[in-house]
Amino acid sequence: MPNYDHECYECGHIWEETYSIHTDPPTICPKCGGKARRVILEAPVSRVKLEGRELKQYITDERKKIRSQIKTDEKLRANIMGETAYENTENNVKTIGEELKQL
74 or 57: whose pLDDT is higher?
A: 57
Positive or negative torsion for Cα 93, 96, 102, 103: negative
pLDDT digits (tens, 9 = 90+) for 6-39: 999 999 899 988 888 788 888 999 999 999 998 8
Rounded percentage of the chain residues whose pLDDT exceeds 90: 18
- Give the per-residue pLDDT at 33: 93
Distance CA 5, CA 95 (A): 66
Amino acid in the structure at residue 50:
L
